[in-house]
Amino acid sequence: MDPFSAEGELLNLHNHFHQGQFQEVIDFDTAGLSPENALPARVLSLRAQIALGPAEDVIADVQGEKEPDLAAVGALAELAAGNESKAVTIAEKLAQESGDNAAVQLLAGIVLQAAGKSEEALTLLSQHQGNLEAVALIVQIQLQQNRTDLAIKEVQAARRWAQDSLLVNLAESWVGMRVGGEKYQQAFYVFEELAQAPATSSSQSLVSQAVAEIHLGRLEEAEAALQQALAKDPKNAEIIANTAVLNIIAGKDAKDFINSLSTVAPDHHYLQDLEEKSALFDKAATKYSAKVSA
Contacts (CB under 8 A) with another protein, residues 217-236:
217
- Contact call for residue 250 and another protein (CB under 8 A): yes
Task: Name which of 66 and 288 has its Cβ closer to another protein.
Answer: 288
Residue of 167, 213, 208 lying closest to 191 (CA atoms): 208
28 forms part of the interface with another protein (CB under 8 A): no
Give me the helix-helix angle, 166-179 and 182-196, nearest 10°.
140
12 is a contact residue toward another protein (CB under 8 A): yes
Closer to another protein by Cβ: residue 38 or 284 = 284
Query: CA-to-CA distance for 31 and 61, rounded, in angstroms?
Result: 19
Alpha-helix residue ranges (DSSP H) falling in the chain: 11-18, 22-27, 35-52, 55-62, 68-81, 84-97, 102-114, 118-125, 132-144, 148-162, 166-179, 182-196, 203-216, 219-232, 237-249, 255-264, 269-285
Q: From CA 91, how far away is CA 118, in angstroms rounded?
A: 13
- Shortest approach of another protein to residue 214 CB, angstroms? 5
* Cα–Cα–Cα angle for 8, 132, 35, rounded to 5 degrees: 35
Rule CB under 8 A: is residue 32 a binding residue for another protein?
no
Q: Is 198 in the site for another protein (CB under 8 A)?
A: no
Of 4, 45, 174, 223, the residue at the interface with another protein (CB under 8 A) is 174
Residue range at the interface with another protein (CB under 8 A); choices 58-66, 90-98, 124-132, 176-184: 176-184
Which DSSP string do the residues of 93-111 spell out, in sequence order?
A: HHHHH-TT-HHHHHHHHHH
From residue 185, alpha-carbon distances to 63, 170, 209, 218 in Å are: 45, 13, 10, 11
Output 100 or 180, the one with its CB closest to another protein: 180
Contact window for another protein (CB under 8 A) among 10-18, 31-39, 60-68, 90-98: 10-18
For another protein, which is the closer residue by CB, 147 or 232?
Answer: 147
Among the listed residues 3, 4, 17, 42, the single contact to another protein using CB under 8 A: 17
Beta carbon nearer to another protein, 68 or 183:
183
- The answer to whether 98 and 68 are in contact (CB under 8 A) is yes
**CA dihedral in degrees (138, 266, 203, 225; nearest 10)?**
-110
# binding residues, another protein (CB under 8 A): 86
101 vs 204, beta carbon nearer another protein:
204
Closest alpha carbon to 246 in 264, 225, 262, 222: 222
Residue ranges in 104-133 that form contacts with another protein under rule CB under 8 A: 107, 110, 113-114, 133
Residue 279 Cβ vs another protein, minimum distance, rounded to whole Å: 10
What residues numbered 35-94 form the site for another protein, per CB under 8 A?
47-48, 50-51, 76, 79-80
With binding defined as CB under 8 A, does residue 215 bind another protein?
Answer: yes
